[in-house]
Chains A and B, each alone.
Chain A
Amino acid sequence: MDAFEILKAAAADPYAYGASIQAKTGKPVVGNFCTYTPEELIYAAGGVPFRLFGTKEDISLADKHLQSYCCSLVRGGLEDALRGNLSFLAGAVFPHTCDSIQRLSDIWRLNAGFPFHIDVVLPVKLDTKSARTYMIDVLAGCKTDLETALGVQITPERLRHAITVYNDIRRTLGDIYRMRSADPSIISARDLYHVVKASMIMDRDELPPLLHTLRDELKAGVKAMPSNTGRRVILSGGICNHPDIYTVLEESGAQVIWDDLCTGTRYFEEQIEENIDPIEAISDRYITRMVCPAKHLDVTARGENLVHLAKAQKASGVIFLFLKFCDPHSFDYPYLKKFLDDAGVPNILLEVEAQLPSDAQLRTRFETFVDMLN
């Protein structure tokens, strides 16, 4: 199989991949729900950070623990855990993000039965010196917790190595994103989605050479797709677990050329400084990177960033993709929309649960939107 096929296979069936990597390497696979998970620490402890996306199947077991007004990621994640679909996990790391994840952490710890559970109560504001100091303390605590849970010592050398590996992964993903934005015909948005998803779950020792190969192939034009002339749009929101969105959009005359997603740029943006204290360096990446709406930076930071992104990426429009019941994103929506409207960037909101709206419905919405762009 070539590099892309290997990445795609992992992304297509993450749990099969997780179980196989656990069986093959014996490495502890560590579940998480958030891009604020200090993956570098998990990797330095010999683990495989494994992003969870929640089941698309019906919810039955999680219904006994979570109300229906809770997002499909939280409900679906718990459902998977309770059904035993995640039995390959050694444990989970829960960074503090929103109210729902906060309670999921409790419910998970009390019911899911994994060998270890680590809460990382990060600061909510990322714009003060004391918050930075606190974040460093919390990450140092997380390092100790991981050492205890996994029975290893995270030496400075291992941590520095982890940072180098993660910088490489993130740089390569960024390269591929930028190459595609410059020439969208080199790889489809749907395929790129699989690449990012695979990068969030694969053994980080196995991943870098695959990403390098893919990048070099794309550079050489080996992987060329039929040229696509659809309108350029940005996808903004939390997670996207629906590859069909990219396809239906393409068929409707537009294509995602950049994103502002947890399962996208938020995962790989910003490098970690390699010549300072590693824990401080990891903290600084979170502080430098554009915040997710569950964190506070400045009251207009995300709006300005989105308008800037639209201009920098020469996007004709923005599609907001939110999970229903996601409070942080829903609170930001009216103001982000206003920033885009004022900048003359057309936008629509698509609120989804575990399942997408019907194909026909989605197509109609996208086609109407593309008409607005033309």
Chain B
Amino acid sequence: MADQSTAKDPEKERRKIKSVSKMKEIMTTYYIEAKTARENGKKVAWITSGGPVEFLIAMDVIPVYPENHGAMVGASKMGVGLCEKAEEMGYSRDLCSYARSDIACSVTDGGPIGGLPRPDFLVCCNNICGTVLKWYEVTARFYHVPLFILDTPFIHARFSEASRKYVVQQTYEYIAFLEKQCGKKMDFERMNEVSRLAVHGLRLWQEVLDTTAHKPAPMTAFDAFFHLALIVTLRGTKIAVDYYQQLLAEMRQRIKDGISMVPNEKYRLLWDNLPVWYRTKWLSDKFADHQACLVADTYTSAWSGVMDLIDENNFIETGAIAYSSVYINVSLDIMFETLKKLIKKYDVDGLVMHSNRSCKPYSLGQYDLQQMVMRELKVPTLIIEADMVDERSFSESQIETRIDAFMETIKK
């Protein structure tokens, strides 16, 4: 809904999160630094969103996240053109739209920021999907750069001792890889400092997310998607810690001042899966029209959800275990336990699941989770079939009808 009036609506202004401008400033600085890394003698590594970035920060390497970039592509509605370009190159339309749009950007220097800075090397952690493995292989061939794979075994029942040994061993291999790429030794004291900052940042981020347990919620899951960028991109830096302190203070103040994101919040919902980046505003308004607020989601807490498994004084031996245990690297029954906790904690009236064509590990199994939620928790659920970046898979009228019908059920 575009602001039609020239004079600003004071009520709307009051609801805006003031930290947004700070966030934009940080991200702009970050991307400028990343794009000028080579001139400043810094190395650039591309890393997956679930990868252990702390080691890169400690080695003074600038981490770049193709997935974060994919989200930017989606949010700036440039997904379709880039995806089509990748399809022309032979990549099937059924492949992940982050991967397709990023691959196209590498070739065309296209997208919202004219392409990502060229990597010196790549770090791929498969705790989020098998897709990143293939995507990073593509990238390694395209740029002719070394690729390190951190293989985090999927947890069907429990994290085995064999898996623990394997991921810890790989952490040491990771350090050796970085030392070779950077031509210098790891400074373990610095690494400890980075680990502490990472854990501190994760705690603050979780506290930010916790604020939406308050009724009415001071922000929505759509805001969380936006503010998530730093916990992914600058985890382990003081910048992220400072920012989340500021954001947390703002959220607490909003609660104190009785400022909610959705006016007259009456219904509270939980979101599952990645956002529909090109339609966050539309969806947010759509639900707000029903006085419904998406107060939390399963996605933005994926990073902080495992922080209790990290011993900040022994990050090397515990970090990879935590990263192996993230929300989508576990079985449906374990996911359901997390869903249950979120549904209780945020006291939601319904669950909205984005069945995301791009993300099979997140989406396949949602139908079973939906059944479990309805059967065991008697919470209404809605499944929206869409895609996170590729707008061709979004049917507005169909989704609108389904949301309206779903909200009618909740209101009964």
Chain A residues packing against B (C-beta within 8 Å): 64-67, 69-70, 74, 96, 98-100, 102-107, 109-111, 119, 121, 123-125, 128, 130-131, 133-134, 137-138, 141, 293-294, 296, 299-300, 324-325, 327-328, 330-335, 337, 351
> Are A328 and B333 closer than 8 Å at their CB atoms?
no
> Are B90 and A65 closer than 8 Å at their CB atoms?
no
Most A-side CB within 10 Å, residue of B133, B163, B361:
B133
The distance in angstroms between the C-alpha atoms of A103 and B332, with both chains bound, is 8
Residues from chain A with a CB closer than 8 A to the CB of B89 are 334
25 contacts between A and B (CB under 8 A): A64-B367, A66-B367, A67-B357, A67-B363, A67-B364, A67-B385, A69-B357, A70-B360, A99-B130, A99-B364, A100-B360, A100-B364, A102-B361, A106-B368, A107-B365, A110-B368, A123-B151, A124-B149, A130-B166, A130-B173, A296-B133, A299-B137, A327-B96, A331-B131, A332-B134
Residues from chain B with a CB closer than 8 A to the CB of A324 are 94
B46, CB-defined interface residue at 8 Å: no
- Beyond A110-B368, A331-B134, whether A99 also contacts B360 by CB under 8 A is yes
B288, CB-defined interface residue at 8 Å: no
Checking A107, A141, A327, A330 against B162 with a beta-carbon cut-off of 8 angstroms, the contacting residue is A141
> Are B332 and A125 closer than 8 Å at their CB atoms?
no
The interface-forming segment of B8-16, B152-160, B183-191, B205-213 is B152-160
The distance in angstroms between the C-alpha atoms of A312 and B184, with both chains bound, is 45
**Chain A residue with minimal CB distance to B385?**
A67
The distance in angstroms between the C-alpha atoms of A136 and B139, with both chains bound, is 30
The distance in angstroms between the C-alpha atoms of A109 and B141, with both chains bound, is 38
> Are B153 and A330 closer than 8 Å at their CB atoms?
no
The distance in angstroms between the C-alpha atoms of A230 and B99, with both chains bound, is 39
Residues from chain A with a CB closer than 8 A to the CB of B157 are 119
Q: Sort A-B residue pairs by CB-CB distance and give the 4 closest, nearest first.
A: A331-B134, A137-B162, A334-B90, A103-B364
- Beyond A121-B153, A125-B149, A130-B170, whether A331 also contacts B138 by CB under 8 A is yes
B169, CB-defined interface residue at 8 Å: yes
Q: How far is the CB of B55 from chain A (nearest CB, A)?
A: 17
B49, CB-defined interface residue at 8 Å: no
The distance in angstroms between the C-alpha atoms of A142 and B2, with both chains bound, is 59
Per the 8 Å Cβ criterion, residues 164-194 of B in contact with A are 165-166, 169-170, 173
The distance in angstroms between the C-alpha atoms of A294 and B96, with both chains bound, is 15
Q: How far is the CB of B99 from chain A (nearest CB, A)?
A: 8
Q: How far is the CB of A328 from chain B (nearest CB, A)?
A: 6
Number of contacts between A and B (CB, 8 Å)? 141
B310, CB-defined interface residue at 8 Å: no
Q: How far is the CB of A38 from chain B (nearest CB, A)?
A: 15
**Chain A residue with minimal CB distance to B91?**
A334
- Beyond A110-B332, A111-B368, whether A67 also contacts B355 by CB under 8 A is yes
The distance in angstroms between the C-alpha atoms of A125 and B140, with both chains bound, is 15
- Beyond A124-B151, A128-B173, A131-B151, whether A107 also contacts B92 by CB under 8 A is no
B331, CB-defined interface residue at 8 Å: yes
Residues from chain A with a CB closer than 8 A to the CB of B130 are 98-99, 102, 124, 294, 327-328
> Are B360 and A121 closer than 8 Å at their CB atoms?
no
Residues from chain B with a CB closer than 8 A to the CB of A109 are 156
> Are A106 and B153 closer than 8 Å at their CB atoms?
no
Most A-side CB within 10 Å, residue of B130, B332, B365:
B130
Residues from chain A with a CB closer than 8 A to the CB of B95 are 327, 330-331
- Beyond A107-B365, A332-B134, whether A124 also contacts B94 by CB under 8 A is no
- Beyond A99-B129, A100-B360, A331-B95, whether A125 also contacts B151 by CB under 8 A is yes
**Chain B residue with minimal CB distance to A137?**
B162
> Are B156 and A119 closer than 8 Å at their CB atoms?
yes
Q: How far is the CB of B228 from chain A (nearest CB, A)?
A: 22
The distance in angstroms between the C-alpha atoms of A104 and B149, with both chains bound, is 24
Q: How far is the CB of B215 from chain A (nearest CB, A)?
A: 34
Residues from chain A with a CB closer than 8 A to the CB of B99 are 331
- Beyond A138-B162, A299-B137, A327-B130, whether A69 also contacts B333 by CB under 8 A is no
The distance in angstroms between the C-alpha atoms of A370 and B305, with both chains bound, is 56
The distance in angstroms between the C-alpha atoms of A366 and B363, with both chains bound, is 36
- Beyond A119-B156, A296-B133, whether A106 also contacts B332 by CB under 8 A is yes
Most B-side CB within 10 Å, residue of A99, A125, A296, A324:
A99
- Beyond A102-B154, A124-B133, A327-B134, whether A69 also contacts B163 by CB under 8 A is no
> Are A330 and B160 closer than 8 Å at their CB atoms?
no
Q: How far is the CB of A79 from chain B (nearest CB, A)?
A: 14
The distance in angstroms between the C-alpha atoms of A119 and B162, with both chains bound, is 14
Residues from chain A with a CB closer than 8 A to the CB of B365 are 65, 103, 106-107
Q: How far is the CB of A199 from chain B (nearest CB, A)?
A: 28
Residues from chain B with a CB closer than 8 A to the CB of A100 are 360, 364
Residues from chain A with a CB closer than 8 A to the CB of B31 are none
Most B-side CB within 10 Å, residue of A66, A104, A293:
A66
Residues from chain A with a CB closer than 8 A to the CB of B30 are none
Q: How far is the CB of B131 from chain A (nearest CB, A)?
A: 6
Residues from chain A with a CB closer than 8 A to the CB of B368 are 65, 106-107, 110-111
> Are B332 and A335 closer than 8 Å at their CB atoms?
no
Checking B133, B333, B364, B366 against A110 with a beta-carbon cut-off of 8 angstroms, the contacting residue is B333
> Are B166 and A96 closer than 8 Å at their CB atoms?
no
Checking B138, B160, B166, B385 against A123 with a beta-carbon cut-off of 8 angstroms, the contacting residue is B166
The distance in angstroms between the C-alpha atoms of A202 and B160, with both chains bound, is 33
The distance in angstroms between the C-alpha atoms of A300 and B364, with both chains bound, is 30
Q: How far is the CB of A346 from chain B (nearest CB, A)?
A: 15
Checking A99, A110, A133 against B166 with a beta-carbon cut-off of 8 angstroms, the contacting residue is A133
Checking A66, A110, A128, A333 against B92 with a beta-carbon cut-off of 8 angstroms, the contacting residue is A333
**Chain B residue with minimal CB distance to A139?**
B162
> Are A331 and B91 closer than 8 Å at their CB atoms?
yes
Q: How far is the CB of B147 from chain A (nearest CB, A)?
A: 7
Q: How far is the CB of B321 from chain A (nearest CB, A)?
A: 14
- Beyond A67-B355, A96-B154, A123-B153, whether A103 also contacts B165 by CB under 8 A is no
**Chain A residue with minimal CB distance to B129?**
A99
**Chain B residue with minimal CB distance to A322?**
B92
